[in-house]
Amino acid sequence: MNKRKSILLLLSVIFIIVASQTYGAASNASDGLPAAQNINGRALANVPPVDVAIKTFQDRLKQNPNDPITYALLANQYIRQARETGDVSGYQRAEEALNESILLLPKYSYASTTLASVYYAQHDFASALDLAQAEYDKNSNNTQALVIVADVQLALGNYQEAETIYLQLSDLGATPPLLARLAALEELKGNPEGGLTLMRRAAGDALQSGGTKEGVAWYILRVADMNFNMGQYDQAGGYYEAALRVFDNYPLALAGLGKVSASQGRYDEAIAYYQQAINIVPQPEYLAALGDLYTITDRPDQAQLQYETVETIGTLAALNEQVYNRSLANFYSDHDMKPKDALRLALAELESRKDIYGYDAAAWAQYKNGNYDEAQTLIEQAMRLGTRDARLYFHAGMIAHALGQDQQARENLEQALAINPHFSIFDSATARQTLEKLQATAGK
Amino acid sequence: MKKILTIGLYCVSALALVFGLVAVPTRAADHLDAPGLTAPGGDTRLDITDVYAFQSPGNPSNTVLVMGVNPLAGVLNDGTFHSGASYEFKVDSDGDAKEDLTYKVTFSAPDGSLNQSVTLRRVPAKGSGAIIASGMTGEDISIAGGGWVRAGVFDDPFFFDLVGFLNLDFCDPGTNFFTGLNISAIVLEVPSSSLGSSNVGVWARTLFNDQQIDRMARPAINTVFIPNNVFEPAGTEKSQRNAFNGAKPRTDQRDFRGEVVDTLEIFYGSGSATAQALADFLLPDILTVDTSSTAGFPNGRGLADDVIDIELGLVTNGAVTSDCVGNDSTFSGSFPYLAPPN
């Protein structure tokens, strides 16, 4: 009897140990995000092609042109079309449809809130803020309007205001969309590890809670982006591939894989990824990266073609200029092209919003124009949150170098390479060469 | 009339909730291009549109249960069912608002042609139950013990002048917003004797990762009565809609009766005994069915029942009695009864 009891006791101790170990293993991965290779997203929802939905809603409006709901539904499909194709004119069509909807039904808050998000997508931040705030003031249950207010504040560089709202909203429920925003804030505030932890949790929760393939793939993509920005290329590659498995032909993930391949010197592979991404959505950043890859593999004609397309897209229409002016300024600066245009674009953008990347674009353009003191004042503003972004440190290092501040230059360039050794196809090499020169000088 | 005007205006904010699920994430070109606040849990496959329960038109000894999901099927979603979720019909046969029987439907992941395997389990109050039917979507599957189950895309049987409602102009001339739209539905026909009683309560729910995502019985209970509802000034109360969707009928009286009474008192006056009685009729949110009767809503709900007209009259104390829209679907007299997709 005693023997039986002691066996039972022993068994229960073993059970407790095993159970606690199992539990311990589970809690180590408590963010719920599976290893990249185990993600497939097969249970997530497919969405029919955008053209099908647009035609359906257009046909409905032919039958009943006084239907504000269908106008709003159509607007959402135009937004989706703009996102899927990169053709920003979709936002204008969305705006028109939403204005029709609101004209038919002025109190239709869903249409007004969607319109605020369209203003935001068009980088008309003042209109987005006014409208979203007005909608939230009318109805404090309209949290979608409130999150647009916060997103606009973030885009404008009013980080404290944005954070206050995100935290207020996450008190109602720390859902993946809010966790993703808080993660981005941590990244901005110089805490990439904390940001990654939050983002992994957001992605794990998103996978757990279902939804559309594209919607969930975005969260996994952001985990990969954060890994990449921290120089964790294998993890980044794994999660970009996972995002691609979840959502076929996801252009953001294809471009991410291009970035990872380029960082590891696999240029032909990188070129193939970027070509695939550009075939789906010709984003100026992808075209610029593809041009750089052609340059580094000694194909200047093909590079030139990509660079010209960047300019074409950036200046195609007034709305393109509004949406892509910062990208274009950075593109010019990065490629030692049109420094005066770069500066004009960057300073105009800084007038309308004073976020850290606006200061960075202006600083980099000033540097390329030889205005090093102005550049330094601006880059200090860009680094005011302590963001651990290799590109910011690289710019700060090069500016300090131009001003003869060797120690500061060395420290910044070392930081840039420590954070993300392959942050850019060309600039990482420039950082390394400049640093070697500085170290040689210091050694003399 | 002024009161009605006010009501109409507040309905606008409710529509954001009705269509909140279809919000497409907007992306700006910058770093934080996060999707809209609608969480991925806002999965249309788990969003119950309507629940019906009626005596089989072809066989009076059978009862038909229908659960619709996937609003705007084929346009905003591909019309498939969630392979990780379960879709459940709950049946209460003794009036205690607890299920005595569950018909649980699960699906495989869709193949390249969007076909899915369908598994139906009959689960008693205690125990794990047994598989009583299996087959493919888009097919009539016979059930061991009698009856049929079919899951697939159908014409949306719901009819309502949503736009007229928003325009505060119900009958000029009245247009069914849902004409030409599709849903996905599970249609189940079983011998009424297998339900445990001739008077049963029915509700449907969707379940994913052990979490109840949605539930429904009578039409529009959540939309009309649960804060922040259409009858209350926008933003005056914190939304309890998700709480209602995640709750069980057995706690409805405890948790939501006060809210239902609040809404009804707008029309029936403060302290109205009718408002109290109506609240007790409406909660728990269960569709009660006398399976021996062919009468329609509020005895169960037939496909062609004009539930909106009945509810409008009930809720507004007769101030609004119709949206001037009737059924325009052509239902079949035989299984699966719903009209084919548009």
Smallest CA–CA distance, residue A17 to chain B, in Å, is 27
A211 touches chain B (CB under 8 A): yes
Judge: B35–A210 Cβ closer than 8 Å, yes or no: no
In a domain, B286, yes or no: no
The residue of chain B nearest to residue A325, with distances taken between CA atoms, is: B29
Judge: B163–A64 Cβ closer than 8 Å, yes or no: yes
Q: Which residues of chain A have a CB within 8 Å of the CB of B210?
A: none
How many structural domains is chain A composed of?
1
ipTM associated with this complex: 0.85
Q: Choosing among A42, A101, A141, A385, which should be mutated to test the B contact, i.e. which has the most B CBs within 10 A?
A: A141
A171 touches chain B (CB under 8 A): no
* Confidence at residue B330, expressed as pLDDT on a 0 to 100 scale: 94
* Confidence at residue B203, expressed as pLDDT on a 0 to 100 scale: 98
Calculate Rg over the CA atoms of chain B.
20
* Confidence at residue B308, expressed as pLDDT on a 0 to 100 scale: 86
Sign of CA dihedral A113, A119, A122, A123: negative
In a domain, B202, yes or no: yes
- Tokens 């829209």 correspond to B325
* Confidence at residue B31, expressed as pLDDT on a 0 to 100 scale: 30
What's the pLDDT tens digit per position in B106-147?
999 999 899 999 999 999 998 889 999 999 999 999 999 999
A108 touches chain B (CB under 8 A): yes
Exposed e or buried b for every residue in B18-31, given b needs 16+ CB within 10 A?
bbbbbbbbbbbbbb
B208 touches chain A (CB under 8 A): yes
Give the rounded percent of residues in chain B with a pLDDT score beyond 70.
84
Terminal alpha carbon distance of chain A: 84
* Confidence at residue A108, expressed as pLDDT on a 0 to 100 scale: 87
In a domain, B339, yes or no: no
* Confidence at residue B15, expressed as pLDDT on a 0 to 100 scale: 31
Residue A177, preceding peptide bond in cis (omega within 30° of 0): no
* Confidence at residue B315, expressed as pLDDT on a 0 to 100 scale: 79
Terminal alpha carbon distance of chain B: 38
B62, pLDDT greater than 50: yes
CB atoms within 10 A of CB A165: 21
Paired tokens of A416: 């840039």
Instruction: Please count the residue pairs, one from chain A and one from chain B, whose beta carbons lie less than 8 angstroms apart.
Output: 184
SS3 B213: strand
For B45, the closest of A45, A105, A138 (CB atoms) is A45
* Confidence at residue A62, expressed as pLDDT on a 0 to 100 scale: 96
- Given a contact cutoff of 8 angstroms between Cβ atoms, the answer to whether A253 and A273 are in contact is no
Which of A121, A83, A73, A213 minimizes the C-alpha distance to B21?
A73
SS3 B275: helix
In a domain, B291, yes or no: no
For B12, the closest of A107, A121, A211 (CB atoms) is A107
In a domain, B49, yes or no: yes
Dist CA A50 CA A56 (whole Å): 10
What's the pLDDT tens digit per position in A55-81?
999 999 999 998 999 999 999 999 999
Judge: A110–B163 Cβ closer than 8 Å, yes or no: no
For A147, the closest of B37, B80, B83 (CB atoms) is B37
A107 touches chain B (CB under 8 A): yes
B174, pLDDT greater than 60: yes
In a domain, B164, yes or no: yes
Domain that holds residue B131: 40-218
Q: Using alpha carbons, list the distances in angstroms from residue A429 to A263, A292, A436.
A: 11, 13, 11
Give the DSSP H/E element, type plus range, for residue A285.
helix A284-296
In a domain, B78, yes or no: yes
Query: Model confidence at B235, in pLDDT bands (50, 70, 90)?
Result: low
For B40, the closest of A108, A123, A216 (CB atoms) is A216
Q: At A240, phi and psi to the nearest 5?
A: -65, -40
Side chain identity at residue A45, one-letter code? A
In a domain, A319, yes or no: no
Q: What is the mean pLDDT of residues B257-283?
A: 89
* Confidence at residue B186, expressed as pLDDT on a 0 to 100 scale: 98
Judge: A218–B25 Cβ closer than 8 Å, yes or no: yes
SS3 B94: coil
* Confidence at residue A412, expressed as pLDDT on a 0 to 100 scale: 98
Judge: B80–A77 Cβ closer than 8 Å, yes or no: no
In a domain, A254, yes or no: yes
DSSP string, A295-339: HHTT-HHHHHHHHHHHHHHHHSSHHHHHHHHHHHHHHHHHTT--H
B152, pLDDT greater than 60: yes
* Spans in chain A with pLDDT lower than 70: 1-30, 444
Exposed e or buried b for every residue in A130-148, given b needs 16+ CB within 10 A?
ebbbebbebbbbbbbbbbb
Q: Are strands B101-107 and B48-55 parallel, antiparallel or unpaired?
A: unpaired
SS3 B341: coil
Instruction: Name residues whose C-beta falls within 8 Å of residue A370's C-beta, 6 or more positions apart in sequence.
Output: none
Edge to edge, the sheet with strand B141-142 lists B48-55, B62-69, B182-191, B148-155, B141-142
Smallest CA–CA distance, residue A410 to chain B, in Å, is 28
CATH number for the domain spanning A266: value is 1.25.40.10
Interface of B with A in 107-166 (CB under 8 A): 109-110, 162-163, 166
* Confidence at residue A110, expressed as pLDDT on a 0 to 100 scale: 87
Angle between helices A159-172 and A176-188 (to 10 degrees): 150
Q: At B208, phi and psi to the nearest 5?
A: -145, 130
Judge: B234–A69 Cβ closer than 8 Å, yes or no: no
Dist CA B231 CA B165 (whole Å): 13
* Confidence at residue B161, expressed as pLDDT on a 0 to 100 scale: 86
How many structural domains is chain B composed of?
1
Query: Model confidence at B311, in pLDDT bands (50, 70, 90)?
Result: confident
What's the pLDDT tens digit per position in A360-409?
999 999 999 999 999 999 999 999 999 999 999 999 999 999 999 999 99
Calculate Rg over the CA atoms of chain A.
25
In a domain, A304, yes or no: no
Judge: A175–B16 Cβ closer than 8 Å, yes or no: no
* Confidence at residue B39, expressed as pLDDT on a 0 to 100 scale: 39
- Given a contact cutoff of 8 angstroms between Cβ atoms, the answer to whether A113 and A152 are in contact is no
Q: What is the mean pLDDT of residues B219-247?
A: 75
Domain that holds residue A260: 190-281
Dist CA B219 CA B291 (whole Å): 19
Q: Which residues of chain B have a CB within 8 Å of the CB of A215?
A: 25, 35, 40
B192 touches chain A (CB under 8 A): no
* Confidence at residue A109, expressed as pLDDT on a 0 to 100 scale: 87
Q: Using alpha carbons, list the distances in angstroms from residue A157 to A152, A161, A168, A257, A437.
A: 9, 9, 19, 30, 36
DSSP string, A92-110: HHHHHHHHHHHHH-TT-HH
The residue of chain B nearest to residue A356, with distances taken between CA atoms, is: B31
Instruction: Name residues whose C-beta falls within 8 Å of residue A379's C-beta, 6 or more positions apart in sequence.
Output: A359, A360, A363, A364, A392, A395, A396, A399
In a domain, B76, yes or no: yes
In a domain, A271, yes or no: yes
- Tokens 């939804």 correspond to A211
B30 touches chain A (CB under 8 A): yes
Smallest CA–CA distance, residue B5 to chain A, in Å, is 12
